[in-house]
């Protein structure tokens, strides 16, 4: 009878511990392999093109079928595809430039003016960098350039012209360098900059000073803002260096023995209002709408230049609260920036309702411009004009590209028909001369 010696309990525990440790290490190694494979796949997915994946898949199929069925031709084809894929990967070595900076020397231009993006590529390293393809997205297009090879410490300053044929905000960038093989198996993009915004303003023309509507300025309501020169007298105060000596009150100065100057309350200037019609039904085409935007922008820019109080409105969409949609007019750039985003709409509040809401929201209006297209009749302009308070001078501007310039009076409403932006300047200059 044979007795088999059983291992002791401590040895059994030690053996199970070693086995558990081995299993844990195998699981951990498997997890690292999975993570590494996932990282490699993610990296490959960013650089391998659809053509590249097709080549890799074809090589894998050729190897499996060739070696499995003994087809030497398929094996040769598989190795050929694998070599092509490996050679394509060599094109990803290097970046071609150490840094690429993007800037817009002039971030605001008018339609048709010159606009450029500046790209500066530098190589501060100690080795020569080969030429590389550079791509610059500009709106919906991509501009391509090939940067020359950069020696050590070399700098390339490239200027790329940006089309400015249409009003709007054009995203420029990000600038990226691209390395890709000739076959198109791999492609690596390196992004170097953020996206810059180019504001393409509507075209404007300098027009004569808007003297109409200034009668009320002489009868403006005084405010709590004090000034050294105005109409409404407020009080006397002691003279300080820099005061205008013409405002010295000599009688009070003789009584007090100290120079006293007059202080005034600043009067509230009359307000100029511009209403731009956004209704698609008012315009025949895009060119007519762009002419209307440019005409309204020209009037608004002149009012800001003359330091007049300006309210610039566009007709608001239907469906919400009946009111007005006001554009910022604190400066010329702010107004024109806002006009870059203005587009026609199918359903908007009518001009008459907009004029009524504007009259309720803004007081002190003395001159109003209603800018629209050729499909908006004079009767509709007159209907909008009567919604404004009595005494407000209203000028309607009907735009029709290449049309004949006309001017007419319709029940206290002045209607300008313009075919070119310069027609508006001529008509306002003629009106100012007559006034």
Residue that finishes a domain, picked among 169, 201, 233:
201
Residue that finishes a domain, picked among 244, 267, 290:
267
Residues 362 and 413 in one domain: yes
Domain presence at residue 408? yes
Residues 81 and 181 in one domain: no
Domain presence at residue 11? no
List of residues 6+ apart from 130 with CB closer than 8 A:
94, 96, 149
Residues 325 and 413 in one domain: yes
Q: Per-residue pLDDT tens for 125-152?
A: 655 555 677 889 998 899 888 877 777 7
pLDDT recorded at residue 9:
59
Is the pTM here over 0.85, yes or no? no
pLDDT recorded at residue 265:
53
The parent domain of residue 190 ranges over 99-201
Residues 427 and 302 in one domain: yes
Domain presence at residue 232? yes
Residues 285 and 182 in one domain: no
Q: Per-residue pLDDT tens for 296-309?
A: 999 999 999 888 88
Domain presence at residue 209? no
Domain presence at residue 23? no
Are the C-beta atoms of 366 and 394 separated by less than 8 Å?
Answer: no
Domain presence at residue 6? no
Residues 311 and 260 in one domain: no
Residues 262 and 370 in one domain: no
Residues 63 and 84 in one domain: yes
What are the angstrom distances between the C-alpha of 320 and each of 213, 311, 314, 326, 349? 32, 21, 15, 15, 10
pLDDT recorded at residue 62:
84
pLDDT recorded at residue 228:
45
Residues 292 and 386 in one domain: yes
Residue that finishes a domain, picked among 233, 267, 301:
267
Q: What total of structural domains would you count in the chain?
A: 4
pLDDT in tens, the chain (435 residues): 455 555 555 666 566 666 667 676 776 766 676 666 565 556 566 667 788 788 888 888 888 888 888 888 888 888 888 888 888 777 766 655 567 889 999 999 999 999 999 988 887 665 555 567 788 999 889 988 887 777 777 788 889 999 999 999 999 989 888 877 777 777 777 888 899 999 999 999 998 877 554 444 434 444 444 444 444 445 677 888 877 777 788 888 888 888 888 776 555 456 799 999 999 999 999 999 999 999 999 999 999 988 888 999 998 876 655 557 889 999 999 999 999 999 998 888 888 888 888 888 888 888 899 999 999 988 899 999 999 888 888 999 999 999 899 988 877 789 999 999 999 988 888 776 555
Domain presence at residue 18? no
pLDDT recorded at residue 4:
52
φ, ψ of residue 82 in degrees (nearest 5): -65, -40
pLDDT recorded at residue 281:
92
Are the C-beta atoms of 202 and 236 separated by less than 8 Å?
Answer: no
pLDDT recorded at residue 23:
72
Are the C-beta atoms of 119 and 101 separated by less than 8 Å?
Answer: yes
> Of 341, 347, 307, 344, which is closest to residue 327 (Cα–Cα)?
341
Residues 305 and 367 in one domain: yes
pLDDT recorded at residue 347:
83
Domain presence at residue 183? yes
Residues 49 and 112 in one domain: no
CA distance 213 to 326: 21
Residues 175 and 241 in one domain: no
């Amino acid at each position: 009878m044979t007795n088999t010696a059983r291992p002791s309990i401590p040895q059994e525990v030690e053996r199970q511990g070693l086995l558990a440790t081995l299993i844990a290490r195998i699981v951990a190694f498997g997890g690292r392999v999975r993570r590494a494979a996932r990282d490699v796949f993610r990296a490959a997915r960013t650089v391998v093109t659809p053509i590249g994946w097709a080549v890799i898949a074809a090589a894998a199929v050729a190897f499996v079928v060739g070696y499995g069925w003994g087809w030497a031709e398929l094996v040769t084809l598989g190795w050929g595809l694998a070599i092509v894929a490996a050679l394509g990967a060599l094109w990803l070595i290097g970046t071609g430039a150490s840094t690429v900076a993007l800037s817009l020397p002039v971030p605001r231009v008018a339609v048709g003016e010159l606009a450029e993006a500046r790209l500066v590529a530098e190589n501060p390293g100690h080795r020569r960098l080969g030429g590389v393809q550079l791509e610059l997205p500009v709106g919906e297009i991509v501009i391509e350039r090939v940067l020359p090879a950069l020696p050590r410490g070399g700098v390339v300053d490239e200027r790329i012209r940006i089309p400015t044929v249409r009003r709007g905000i054009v995203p420029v960038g990000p600038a990226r360098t691209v390395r890709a093989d000739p076959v198109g198996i791999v492609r690596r993009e390196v992004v170097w900059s953020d996206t810059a915004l180019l504001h393409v303003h509507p075209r404007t023309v300098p027009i004569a000073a808007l003297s109409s509507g200034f009668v009320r300025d002489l009868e403006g309501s005084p405010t709590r803002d004090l000034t050294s020169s105005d109409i409404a007298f407020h009080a006397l105060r002691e003279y300080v260096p820099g005061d205008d000596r013409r405002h010295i009150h000599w009688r009070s100065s003789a009584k007090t023995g100290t120079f006293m100057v007059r202080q005034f309350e600043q009067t509230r200037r009359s307000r100029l209002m511009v209403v731009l019609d956004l209704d698609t039904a008012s315009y025949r085409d895009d060119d007519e709408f762009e002419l209307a935007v440019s005409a309204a922008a020209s009037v608004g820019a002149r009012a800001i230049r003359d330091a007049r109080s300006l309210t610039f409105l566009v007709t608001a969409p239907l469906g919400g609260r009946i009111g007005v949609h006001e554009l910022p007019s604190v400066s010329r750039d702010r107004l024109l920036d806002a006009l870059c985003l203005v587009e026609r709409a199918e359903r908007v509040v009518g001009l008459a309702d907009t004029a009524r809401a504007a009259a309720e929201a803004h007081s002190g209006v003395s001159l109003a411009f209603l800018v629209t297209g050729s499909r908006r009749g004079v009767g509709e302009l007159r209907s909008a004009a009567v919604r404004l308070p009595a005494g407000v001078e209203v000028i309607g501007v009907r735009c029709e590209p290449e049309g004949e310039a006309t001017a007419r009076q319709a029940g206290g409403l002045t209607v300008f028909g313009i075919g070119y932006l310069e027609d508006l300047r001529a008509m306002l200059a003629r009106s100012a001369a007559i006034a």
